[in-house]
Structure 1
Amino acid sequence: MRRNTALALSLALPLALAACGTPQERCIDRNTSEYRTISALLAEVEGNLARGYSWQERQVVRTRFEQCRRVYRDRDGQQHVTTYGCWRDYVDSERYRVPIDPAAETRKRDGLEARQAALSGGARAAVSACREAFPEEA
């Protein structure tokens, strides 16, 4: 991998719980979101190139046999519950392989690397500014 893994990790790890994080973590999250998005896309493209295919997901409706309940009242008004076997539909997600065009993926990777390199200076400066503005207390 050719990307700056150390910077990506230093930006991603403190942001695991950014929504409920410290003011410093929220500041870093706000100011580095594009860099983190580009880094995630780059990691996906590099994985596709390494495997030779990409993954996609689709929704599939499947049927399974379950125990269903039926409540009925007898002539005296008493409730009775019976169980019986029935078929129920449910939606499942299924991953499948999609072939890739290596030349197109390589161009995509090169474009993402260039964009990441352009954003890395700003991301580094934003992280430094957030750490100065919101110092963490030990």
Structure 2
Amino acid sequence: MRPALIVLPLVLVAACATPREQCISNVTRDTKVLSNLINEVRGNLARGYALDRQQQVRTIPKTCRGEDADGNTFRFRCDETRTDTIVTPVAIDLNAERAKLASLEERFAQSQAASNQAVAQCIAVHPE
């Protein structure tokens, strides 16, 4: 599936959100990012290693058939491009990862408090 086909529905859904929902989404974005990072670090600690994700783009040679205006069939090259995500285990320093987790959890608590105030302000500004 093309990336544009994935992004378009997301844009349409975002366009349908009420001003209140858009405001809340904007003010909670950092908290959501921190939450995702905390979950990733916890997973790394549980596994004992991190997972490195890289995209590999491959071109697969293909031949297609076509027809010209006179009705004659012909062949032409129509390569297909595929993108695969390659996941590779990566060694980590567990002590550094624990320190990172502690730092992220502290920042999350601060961000959560700020987000709660901002959400209350969004609700006050945009009553439904």
Q: TM-score, normalised by structure 2?
A: 0.70
Residue in structure 1 matching 2:81, options 85, 90, 93 = 90
Q: Match for 1:34: what amino acid?
A: D
Encode CA deviations 1:49-96: one digit per residue, 9 max, x unaligned. 2222222222324354634225579xxxx3411348x79462422222
Aligned-pair RMSD on alpha carbons? 2.7
The answer for unaligned runs of 5 or more in structure 2 is 1-12
Residue in structure 2 matching 1:25, options 17, 21, 36 = 21
Residue in structure 2 matching 1:54, options 50, 54, 57 = 50
The answer for unaligned runs of 5 or more in structure 1 is 1-16
Q: Is the helix fraction higher in 1 or 2?
A: 2
Q: Distance in 1 between matches of 2:108 and 2:57?
A: 39
The percent identity for this pair of structures is 36
* 2:62 is the alignment partner of 1:66: yes
Q: TM-score, normalised by structure 1?
A: 0.65
Residues 64 and 75, structure 2, Cα contact 8 Å, conserved in 1: yes
Encode CA deviations 1:83-118: one digit per residue, 9 max, x unaligned. 48x794624222222222211111111100010111
Pick the structure with greater CA Rg. 1
The aligned length equals: 115
Q: Distance in 1 between matches of 2:113 and 2:93?
A: 31
Residues 72 and 79, structure 1, Cα contact 8 Å, conserved in 2: yes
